[in-house]
Chains A and B, each alone.
Chain A
Amino acid sequence: MKRISPGMAVILSLLAIFALAAAAAPLLSPFDPLRQSLLMRLRPPGAMVSGKLLLLGSDDLGRDLLSRILYGARASLLVAALSVSVSLVVGTLLGMLAGWFRGWTAILVMRLVDTMLSIPAILLAVITVAVLGPGFLNLVLVLGLTRWPRYTRVAYAQTLQVATLPYIRAAEMAGCGPLRLLLRHVLPNIAGPLVVVATSEFGLMILFEAGLSFLGLGIQPPYPSWGSIMSAGRQYVARAWWLTVFPGMCLFVLVLCVNVFGDWLRDRVDPRAQGR
């Protein structure tokens, strides 16, 4: 194993903190993120209310911002993880089938990929949510089912290459069926680049979720999401800067960490970068 640089250690621990915060949101939150209190509206960070500290202040309905950001991290990471999983599975499956069977299968799948890639993804997501209606499940499905073509391209190219290697022919000679050939011999050998794509997509998914929630097409109020917190705080940006700055910073730092992690992962997976 190569040594992890100090900078990368910071990135990795920040990612771990985000994941932990999201997972343990109910334990870490000082307040109920949904409980409104008109008496504690728009308190600045550090305010004390009846003996309890509002570390990051409160919003226009008197809800504790820290608690909402913790629960919002949950929404962001969960949506991103699930939608990346959906598109990774769908995209890889289609790409492997196209690369394995080639011919008409490949033409059909790859032209569909070209079509999907020629439509702006965020626009497609907005239209689909507008038609299907917002909500957690729809959000995951929309993001997952619009973002698979990138995986398909990578899986297709990799499968084409791997399928010609002698160990695949050897496995055929051994008596492996097509399912085992694809899952046991092709998939493990194309997984590296796909994981790298998935990581970079993960950061994008967090942004998409925030963007759609900001537009009111994602997580619906009163449930918190970084995008919807910022959307609500937008009106008070002059009086209550903390409502947009803190979730915005979280979003920025998380996506930055994910992307740096993705680059690092790509360098490790890319055989040309080995031993450098």
Chain B
Amino acid sequence: MNAPLDLHDLHVHFPGRGGAPIRAVDGVSLSIAPGETLGLVGESGCGKSTLANAVVGLLPPTSGSVRVLGTELVGASRATLRAMRARVQMVFQDPVTSLNPRMTVGEAIGEPLLVRNLFRGAALRTEVARLLEEVGLRPSQAGNYPHQFSGGQRQRVVIARALALRPALLICDEPVSALDVSVRAQVLNLLVELQAQHGMANLFVSHDLAVVRHVADRVAVMYLGRLVELAPRDALFATPRHPYTRALLAAVPEPDPVVQRAKPHVPLTGEIPSPAAPPPGCRFHTRCPLAIARCRSEVPAWRMIGETGVACHVAY
């Protein structure tokens, strides 16, 4: 069986002001197995949302390969892209702007089914009712408009719309960051539950490590357009290899003050450099506490340490 998602050396560049292109995604390779959740984490501006948008074909990749269920999407025809989009669906960050305010939630959920001629009339209404129930809403709410729902409920509607076409791959771009903390867990649990039921693979983009730890099987860490570490969840959280990953984990506050005080303090200094002019060698060397001379000139190759893949000269 083909992997739901297989990226090889993916580059997404934007034309920058005054010549140098902005290298939002600069050579990322990864794959997701059926039913697996891959968490993709990194700071704001590291290219994780760009990657998500390129995977679903909303942004054109500059070079490299995006294979969804074995079908190459880079350079694919409109018809191929449209057919593929039925198999890959997306949950967006902001549930307020991801629903058309002038459409009832029933229309929104039914739209993918309607425009692809899968259901119509009474059968469509039945299917929409079923989807609403599946995400924990009442079928009677189909005629309501998005503004009549709370943030958490709206995200449930967005999830129902994404599920309508029974995708093989779900892309979640910060699906709970815009929600109140109190409803985050509900929406996350719903996602995990539905994913297990449908056997969907999931690319889960987030900057929140606690959330990723809750849902992901494997975690990929991105920095300035590149992957720096990719490891099974437990390995990553127990023994982070890359100095950037360590810094990220150290920055997560612990609820227990004793644990918090005992945590290693790994401060990162400076700002994330511009993706239009990334530093040579290892991109992290400008902020890395462990950087050596080699890091400034030589791009670190991807290597495996046990189950963990890492791009670093000094990691062990």
Contact = CB atoms under 8 A, between A and B. Distances in A.
Interface of A is mostly: helix
B115 A174 contact: yes
Interface string B95-119: 0011111110000000110011000
Contact of A175 (B58, B97, B102, B116): B116
Interface of B is mostly: loop
Nearest to B90: A173
How many of chain A's residues touch chain B, expressed as a range? 10 to 19
A123 interface: no
A166 B97 contact: yes
Contact of A167 (B53, B89, B99, B116): B99
B115 A176 contact: yes
A175 B100 contact: no
A189 B101 contact: yes
A171 B100 CA distance: 9
A180 interface: yes
Interface residues of B, number: 27
B148 to A, nearest CB: 15
A188 interface: yes
A94 to B, nearest CB: 22
A27 interface: no
Given A173-B89, A175-B116, A167 B97 contact: yes
Contacts of A166: 92-94, 97-98
Contacts of B103: 184-185, 188
B85 interface: yes
A171 B97 contact: no
B56 A173 contact: yes
B58 A169 contact: yes
Contacts of A172: 58, 85
B137 interface: no
A119 interface: no
15 contacts: A167-B99, A167-B100, A169-B92, A170-B98, A170-B161, A171-B100, A171-B111, A173-B58, A174-B116, A174-B161, A174-B165, A175-B82, A176-B111, A185-B100, A189-B101
A-B residue pairs, 6 tightest by C-beta: A174-B112, A188-B102, A166-B98, A166-B92, A167-B100, A175-B115
Interface of A: 165-167, 169-177, 180, 184-185, 188-189
